[in-house]
Structure 1
Amino acid sequence: MSDCDDLQLTATDRVYVFIRDQILAGKLGPGDRVVEPAIASQLGVSRTPVREALRRLTADGYVEIRPHAGAAVRMWNHEDIRSTFAMRADIEGHAAARAAQKITPHQIEELEALCDRIEQASAEPTTSGNSARSELNRQLHVQVLKISGLIHAEKVATQLMDVAVLALTFSQFTPEQAARSDSDHRLLMTAFRLRNSELAESVMRTHILTASAIRDLQLLRR
């Protein structure tokens, strides 16, 4: 690969991350257009890396290309989101079972430190506290995937997590629901210390499917 290609890849990656983060932060909402010239101007790049980034974002499910209308943030329907949580439960449940057999005492300590920080963020029911909780929760789940050693599962599940963030933010959790989620994390740590794969898988699956059920209940109440 030439130096020019390296620079092009770097620019594409930068645009990809920028647009993805705008979507995950809610600055670009479902159905909003992603305007190529505006993004290119804002990031100081040509339109070529913007087009490449939009192709990747489309393949990863964040954006859809509409005929004669350009790119727009994907509109997720109820069944799409429900299936996303179900797939996460399968993938991350299996990963947790694998992690229980491979995890080291030091890695457990690192995960428990993340649990501490998540619970501290739970005690701050503010926008910044909710944002911190969401990011820390994501870090914990990603770390479990990494420990499992299932590389492809890590990539797929991470993308599915981002969809979950779009569908259900932690600001929508009641204090009781947040406490339940925190309790799940602690039970998962117990499973890891015991190297109990069955318990680890059960806890992770229930943890994720409970989040999906919370979203379903919220929709019923609207």
Structure 2
Amino acid sequence: MRIEKQTISEQVVATIRKQIFLQAYEQGDALVEAELSKQLGVSRGPIREAFAKLESENLVTKRSNGRTIVNGFTEEDIRKLYDSRILLETHALSQANKNEVVEIVPRLRQCIHDMEVTTNEVEADVRFHMLIMKLSGNKTLLQLWKSLEGIFATLVDITSVVSAPNHERVVERHRVIVDAIHEYDLARAKQLLNEHLLEAMDYCIEGIEQIKETYNNGKS
């Protein structure tokens, strides 16, 4: 896979992150700048920037000798990430005030429309959940969520492998959450959001296994 020239750093990070999630790079593997630069068709600058971002996400560790080592990524890590995400998003929802609801609900509905018609469903999905975070009006809480945004986006991308046949169900999951928010039934909205994210976690775990199986079958 070669990287397009626009937003190079973000694409490099997403590419390497996804390979770590799919265990193409396993725990203890060394990531080599020169090899990745050649493989992805980019200069070493974006590779170094990607390493720094991945280190901040605890996906790699830079050793004192300069080597960048993969920390590994397991099903347990996925469950912990989704547990953290559920805590952040449901708490943000519980803090929603009516002024924020009036402003943000139309934007949430636009996200749902975009999920239905766009070829970039991942972007619309991530934008939807960021707006959920903004309902709280708590900038610190939003910043915590945004520090994990790249990871969430990659997991949504992987999840789409399994969820695609259930696209209408996934869209409807989002729609009923917005309906509950619009009615200011925050308890129901939190319950629906929790159920949606738990289902997304299961899709993600299944998606990783499916992609790995397809890859391994192709090698045999």
TM-score (norm. length: structure 2): 0.70
The aligned residue for residue 130 of structure 2 is: 142
Identify if the C-alpha distance between structure 1 residues 160 and 44 changes in structure 2 by more than 3 Å, giving closer, same or farther. closer
Cα distance change on mapping 1:102 and 1:57 into 2, 3 Å:
farther
Q: Match for residue 11 of structure 1?
A: none
- Partner residue in 2 for 1:157: 145
The code of the aligned residue for 2:151 comes to V
Query: Do 1:15 and 1:50's aligned partners in 2 also have CA atoms closer than 8 Å?
Result: no
Which residue of 100, 103, 106 maps to 1:103?
100
* Pair 174,118 (structure 1): closer, same or farther in 2 beyond 3 Å: closer
Greater shift, 144-153 or 51-60, is seen at: 51-60
Q: Which runs of 5+ in 2 are unaligned?
A: 1-6, 214-220
**1:27-71 Cα deviation digits (max 9, x unpaired):** 9953475434575x94575xxx97676344312224333575722
The amino acid that maps onto 1:150 is N
Aligned letter for 2:13? R
TM-aligned CA distance change 1:64 to 1:184, over 3 Å: same
Alignment of 1:18-97 (within 5 A): 19-24=12-17, 30-31=25-26, 33-36=30-33, 42-43=42-43, 45=45, 54-65=51-62, 70-97=67-94
CA RMSD of aligned residues (A): 3.6
> Does the C-alpha gap of structure 1 residues 54 and 213 become closer, same or farther in structure 2, counting only changes over 3 Å?
closer
How far, CA to CA, are the matches of 1:25 and 1:220 in structure 2? 13
Residue number in structure 2 paired with 1:169: 159
Distance across 2 between alignment mates of 1:50 and 1:218: 27
Q: Could you say if the C-alpha distance between residues 146 and 30 of structure 1 is closer, same or farther in structure 2, counting changes exceeding 3 Å? A: farther
Q: How far apart are the structure 1 equivalents of 2:203 and 2:20?
A: 24
Match of 1:133 in 2: 121
Give the distance between the partners of 1:21 and 1:213, measured in 2 at CA: 21
Greater shift, 135-144 or 16-25, is seen at: 16-25
- Comparing 132-141 with 90-99, which one deviates more in the overlay? 90-99
| Structure-1 residue corresponding to 2:116 | 119
Amino acid at match of 1:201: K
Any stretches of 5+ residues in structure 1 without a counterpart? 1-13, 122-128
CA contact (8 A) 2:163 2:170 kept: no
**Count of residue pairs the alignment pairs up:** 196
Which structure has the higher relative contact order (CA within 8 Å, separation 6+)?
Answer: 1
Q: After superposition, what is the alpha-carbon deviation per residue over 1:159-178, rounded to whole angstroms, capped at 9, x for unaligned?
A: 445334444331221422x3
- Once residues 218 and 20 of structure 1 are traced to their aligned partners in structure 2, the CA distance between those partners, rounded to angstroms, is 20
Question: TM-score normalized by structure 1?
Answer: 0.69
